Amino acid sequence: MVPAAWSGGARSSYAKDFQKPSIYDQTARLDRANNLGVNDALHACGQYLDTLATRHGLTVVDYGSILNRLNDRLQSRDPAATIVGTDRVHPGPTGHFVMTYQFLKSTGVQPPGSVRCAAPPEGWPSC
């Protein structure tokens, strides 16, 4: 349930939303073992969720697309950079921030009036 202060016209329950998986970073140049193909499999799972959501009229929160785009931008400047941790799987604070942003945006939740969105860093999505 979303607190009344955060409802902003959004549905009060997110039980009918699908959340696509986060990414597995198979492109960063890290010392950690790389299981090539994992991110592709996660993307395929996300496409299946799109099919189900369309069939049943549900919302999809897509973490993979935004994280992949940001990861691509990071790695164009530094091939060892990653939006997820050095384990290639678990997002750190920045990755969790991006996922939270994507969840709120996708589900239509508006921040309370006391929260204002600052201009994002170059290359980041706008509010």
- Separation CA 101–CA 56 (nearest Å): 25
The three-point CA angle 29-66-125 to 5° equals: 115
Which pLDDT tens digit goes with each residue over 35-63? 999 999 999 999 999 999 999 889 999 99
List of domains in the chain:
18-107 (3.40.50.1110)
List for the chain the helix, strand, coil content (%; round to 5).
40, 5, 55
Which pLDDT tens digit goes with each residue over 58-105? 999 999 999 999 999 999 999 999 999 899 999 989 999 999 999 988
- Fill in the amino acid letter for 61: V
73 to each of 43, 66, 69, 120, 126, how far by Cα in Å?
19, 11, 6, 15, 16
- Separation CA 60–CA 75 (nearest Å): 27
What token pair was written down for 52? 């189900």
Which pLDDT tens digit goes with each residue over 112-127? 665 566 666 676 666 6
- Separation CA 119–CA 127 (nearest Å): 8
Percentage of the chain modeled with pLDDT above 70 = 75
For residue 11, pLDDT beyond 60: no
Query: Which helix (DSSP H) or strand (DSSP E) does residue 47 occupy?
Result: helix 38-56
Q: What is the pLDDT of residue 35?
A: 95
